[in-house]
Structure 1
Amino acid sequence: MRKSCVYILFIILISHPEILFSQKNSSLLWKIEHPETDKVSYLYGTLHLLDKSYIDSLPAVTEALTRAELIVGETVTDSTDLLRKVIKYTLMEDTLLSDIMDSVKFKKLNNLLKENLGVSVLYLNQFKPAMAWSMFTQAIYVQEFPVLAETNEVLIDQYFLDYANNNNIELVGLETTSFQMNLLFNRISVLRQLEILEDAVDNIDENKVLLNLMIRNYFANKLESIEADLMSNGLSEDEKNMLLRDRNREWLSKIPDLINNKNSFIAVGAGHLVGKEGLISGLRKLGFKVTPVEMSRSLNN
């Protein structure tokens, strides 16, 4: 596996969809309890590409959501504000994608986007390579999973935010949209973004294999051990810290205060849940009891 393809999968796990690691007694839904309070919260690992309809097959997730007095997501923003921030952080001022990208790969990307999304790459010409890479990921998702893609009316993470707003439930983001946008589009250099994009376009079939593995494992609820590959290939220590470890540490400084006083439902990319510096391990170190929940059964069973 090429190093930059591993890096691509890492970004999927963290930013888009973020997905699968090993964990004994696996689940995507975890119950959080603390011996000094009577509050019960739930931590759910999402796959950002999926539509909300997936939740219909998971009664435990639905029930955990309905019991929530507080819903917590990675970020909380309305669509107007999101569009403004996307423009602010993703546009290139002095160059075009076509000026810096290999012409053959630029054409190959254009063909992929037109075939699957009906969008010309010229639409992205003023955007940073990471934006084009995001569209690349969506294109291969549509190509490989057309049935799933057709149902994508409301993405799963947005559904939880909408549920909070529609039911007058308090809603909190663990980080701001500006922070996340800056992280993905500014702190990773344009040249590094371009390297990732060109390698992805040059290795479409390999990326399809990775995406298929992700989706299959997620639906099968298999948190298989790919953490070692992600952590040992293609990423500098600074990049690992920036994209995963530092964010988890920051979230763990906020979550206890949120869940000590209210029954909460926390939905973040599943890649943040596990590993030695993941949320599950971190919450346990802070004194919380964190146990897996069988998602296909009612919480009352």
Structure 2
Amino acid sequence: MKKITFLFFLLLLSPFSRAQSPVEKSLLWEISGKGITKPSYLFGTIHLICPADFSLSDSLKNAVSKTRQLALEIDMDDPGLMGAMTKTMFMADGKTLQGILTEKQYAQLSQFYKDSLGMNITSFGRAKPFMMMGPMFNKILGCEPQSYEISLMTLAAKQKSEIIGLETIEEQMAVFDTIPYNRQAEMLLSMIDKLPETKTEFHDLVELYKKQDLQSLYNLTLKSEFGMDGQDEVMLFQRNQNWIKRIDKIVHEKPTFIAVGAAHLGGEKGVIALLKKDGFKVRAVGK
């Protein structure tokens, strides 16, 4: 359950020339130049998706086979991951869910989780409200979701590639902590109140993903009523910038397959634009 919650939030997360923004419709990109001897690859994921919409292309598998390590947003193969997440999942100062909600809001939330998810919200206790969004994902998708990250980890394991992270779980959880607890709770209640709209928006996002339309996917993520919530600077842009130096380092060490949420790739402050600005050659790889 904690992994599903974590993957859900991965989905949510000086000016640059527009010429740097990717215009090709592709999820897979080759990184070369800047003195690296063998190319690395960058892939935009959608962290959870219905099996009917899931696909690992031959181009993707071929790119993975040419690399020697897999870099995800965090190292999901780290045995200490769940322990670290548990330490960071609780609200500070002894705050509780019941304490930050009105009596009416708490009753509404409790009824929804009981009737729709078969869960008692008292089990969440002091957990930060966004931790409660994970269990809703099956309801939003209408299926038992599949993960690109886990599938890529399986491919990497078969060829004995090392799995690493571009950031730590503590760094990632700190990003979500920039949203006040009461605002997190409001976002959760809004998703419940507008569940049909939530489902429609995610369906639209999946369709854009299947079309490999990074720019439109990026635009939808920014204007989402349920995602960035005005936090795009810390949830997307600052993280993108932080990753560039780390990517620079790892691709010079060994050919690497880098997989991050597709929303991080598009736009003038996206990973592709920043890599180009940093001196790398980044080109779309055909399906």
If the TM-score is normalised by the length of the shorter chain, which range does it land in? 0.7 to 0.9
Matched-pair contact (CA < 8 Å) for 2:71–2:256: yes
Match of 1:33 in 2: 32
Amino acid at match of 1:28: L
Separation in 2 of the partners of 1:23 and 1:32? 13
1:218 partnered with 2:209: yes
When structure 1 is superposed on structure 2, of 223-232 and 201-210 the one drifting more is: 223-232
1:161 partnered with 2:161: no
TM superposition score normalised by structure 2:
0.81
Amino acid at match of 1:195: E
Correspondence list, 1:84-95, <5 A: 84-92=83-91, 94-95=94-95
Match of 2:172 in 1: 180
Matched-pair contact (CA < 8 Å) for 1:113–1:139: no
Amino acid at match of 1:180: Q
Distance verdict in 2 for CA 1:276–1:101, change over 3 Å: same
Match of 1:135 in 2: 135
**Alignment deviations for residues 209-252 of structure 1 (CA, whole Å, 9 cap, x no partner):** 11111122222323353645655788687x33221111111111
Separation in 1 of the partners of 2:252 and 2:127? 42
Matched-pair contact (CA < 8 Å) for 1:116–1:139: no
Distance verdict in 2 for CA 1:27–1:98, change over 3 Å: same
SS of residue in 2 equivalent to 1:171: strand
Match of 2:18 in 1: none
1:270 partnered with 2:269: no
Separation in 1 of the partners of 2:268 and 2:71? 22
User: Cα distance, 1:109 vs. partner?
Assistant: 3.6
2:186 to 195, 201, 209: 195
Separation in 2 of the partners of 1:110 and 1:293? 47
Correspondence list, 1:43-82, <5 A: 43-50=42-49, 56-78=55-77, 80-82=79-81
User: Cα distance, 1:268 vs. partner?
Assistant: 0.6
Separation in 1 of the partners of 2:74 and 2:50? 18
Separation in 1 of the partners of 2:123 and 2:260? 30
2:277 to 263, 281, 285: 285
When structure 1 is superposed on structure 2, of 244-253 and 88-97 the one drifting more is: 88-97
Distance verdict in 2 for CA 1:130–1:87, change over 3 Å: same
Distance verdict in 2 for CA 1:231–1:160, change over 3 Å: closer
Distance verdict in 2 for CA 1:195–1:261, change over 3 Å: same
Separation in 2 of the partners of 1:252 and 1:189? 28
Separation in 1 of the partners of 2:270 and 2:191? 27
Distance verdict in 2 for CA 1:31–1:54, change over 3 Å: farther
Matched-pair contact (CA < 8 Å) for 2:25–2:211: no
Match of 1:3 in 2: none
User: Cα distance, 1:15 vs. partner?
Assistant: 3.1
Separation in 2 of the partners of 1:109 and 1:167? 45
Separation in 2 of the partners of 1:13 and 1:280? 22
Distance verdict in 2 for CA 1:24–1:270, change over 3 Å: same
